[in-house]
Amino acid sequence: MGTFSKDFIFGTATSSYQIEGAIKEGGRTPSIWDTFSSIPGKVVNGDTGEMACDHYHRFEEDIEIIKSLGVDSYRFSIAWPRIFPEEGVYNPEGMDFYVNLSKQLLAQGIKPFVTIYHWDMPQWAHEKGGWVNRDSVKWFKEYAQACFKALDEYVDMWITHNEPWCAALLGYHQGVHAPGHTNMDEAVKAAHHIMLSHGEAVKLYKEELKLEKPIGITLNLSPIYAASNSQNDLLAANNMDGYLNRWFLDPIFKGKYPEDMMNLYSKYVHSYEFIQSDDLELISYPCDFLGINFYNRQLVEFSGASDFLYRLAYSDYPKSGMGWDISPKEFKSLIYRLRQEYTQLPIYITENGAAFDDVLEEDGTVHDTDRKQYMEQHILAVAELNQEGMNIAGYYLWSLLDNFEWAFGYGKRFGIVYVDFETQKRYVKDSAKRYAEIVGARKI
């Protein structure tokens, strides 16, 4: 049993490319995800975000659904190519969509929580080198400034970037996300520029624009465990923790990169001169909160044949539909570690949820017991963490709607609302009803 104070924020989350569709409307130009998903073999089933959930046209219906959940807040992201369809060309029509969305949310008593970058970089920026080019910091700053100016009066809180690890490492090292490169040197530079652009944006917001809403960044953190206590497996776990977690936590909270990882990466990154003298100070510019997207723990073992000496190990934990370990206990351990080693800032769980194979019944119901259970376990963990003084300020369920799950296309359903992608009809799943109950009672 756990309870939540009246100030605790319950919400639900989405992102622009995953739900909007309307890729050619309102002056929008292509993003790297339009390009990437149109290359055969990159996304399961050849799916793209062309239609997605058609949220661009159906946002009013979607706001009704959010309202019916009784949540305090809705987290969404802005599509950069709607705002700057070309370098230096501001598109007010693109911004109007988000002004309107925010106003209508507010009218229903729902607080807009806005992510500025959730991976849909404009194709024009990519063609000029994307995040590997240091100019990306300048482009992002201009884009962030336009968002702050147009939306700050409506927005409750700001997130600069969603999961820089995915944008940089999945996009430029593993090649499974846009732009699909497999080059570690590029990935490390991309990560650096993304974090630098975060720092620039926060500084701009606070120092130049003197705006006052809370602003922060969202990291995807996953506690890493060694498959055994052998020296080899412990080394493997250390390296994966460095690759996924510390490479971002250390610069943001400690103003330095982890040296063990710099050494390991130097096989691919032959010079660190792209890290200029004041960069780390900017990257660690003080924020107001830390956002965390939590899905699973990971178990690893030593592998001499892999780049960084680790590979995923067999784990006997129960799994979600992504094959990810369901691990609410380790979620709590992650928070303890953050409190001990990194920060006392308020923490928002900006995403948590699970994909499972849902069945839409003839009567329009979806009995997603697995998802309901996953959600309950993690919300209970949040309540317990707060009883222990861990200061989790909010929880956002991922996701409001089934949507375009990146390289997995529409096959992986994370929504608490089922979307029939043929008809665009929405069906509220059992998990959504249960979530509304928890939010209403502020009790689990």
> Residue numbers of the site for ligand FCB (CB under 6 A)?
15, 18, 162-163, 166, 220, 293, 351, 398, 405-406, 414
Give the nearer residue to ligand FCB in terms of CB position, either 4 or 289. Answer: 289
**CA R_g for the chain:** 21
Q: Quick one: tokens of 324?
A: 């990810």
Catalytic annotation present for 163 = yes
Phi and psi (nearest 5°) for 34? -65, -45
Residue 179 identity: P
Give the nearer residue to ligand FCB in terms of CB position, either 315 or 350. Answer: 350
Closest approach of ligand FCB to the CB of residue 119, in Å: 7
For residue 143, give the nearest of 118, 177, 166, 165 by alpha carbon: 118
Closest approach of ligand FCB to the CB of residue 354, in Å: 9
> Which of 186, 301, 330, 351 does the annotation list as catalytic?
351
118/163 Cα distance (integer angstroms): 8
The answer for residues whose C-beta is within 8 angstroms of residue 377's C-beta and 6 or more apart is 326, 328
Closest approach of ligand FCB to the CB of residue 295, in Å: 6
Q: Is 211 helix (H, G, I), strand (E, B) or coil?
A: coil
Whether the CB-CB separation of 351 and 296 falls below 8 Å is answered with: no
Closest approach of ligand FCB to the CB of residue 229, in Å: 30
Give the nearer residue to ligand FCB in terms of CB position, either 120 or 186. Answer: 120
Closest approach of ligand FCB to the CB of residue 369, in Å: 20
> Which of 20, 163, 186, 200 does the annotation list as catalytic?
163
Give the nearer residue to ligand FCB in terms of CB position, either 147 or 407. Answer: 407
For residue 202, give the nearest of 117, 290, 287 by alpha carbon: 287
The answer for residues whose C-beta is within 8 angstroms of residue 373's C-beta and 6 or more apart is none
Catalytic annotation present for 259 = no
Whether the CB-CB separation of 403 and 18 falls below 8 Å is answered with: yes
318/56 Cα distance (integer angstroms): 36
Give the nearer residue to ligand FCB in terms of CB position, either 163 or 301. Answer: 163
Active site residues: 163, 351
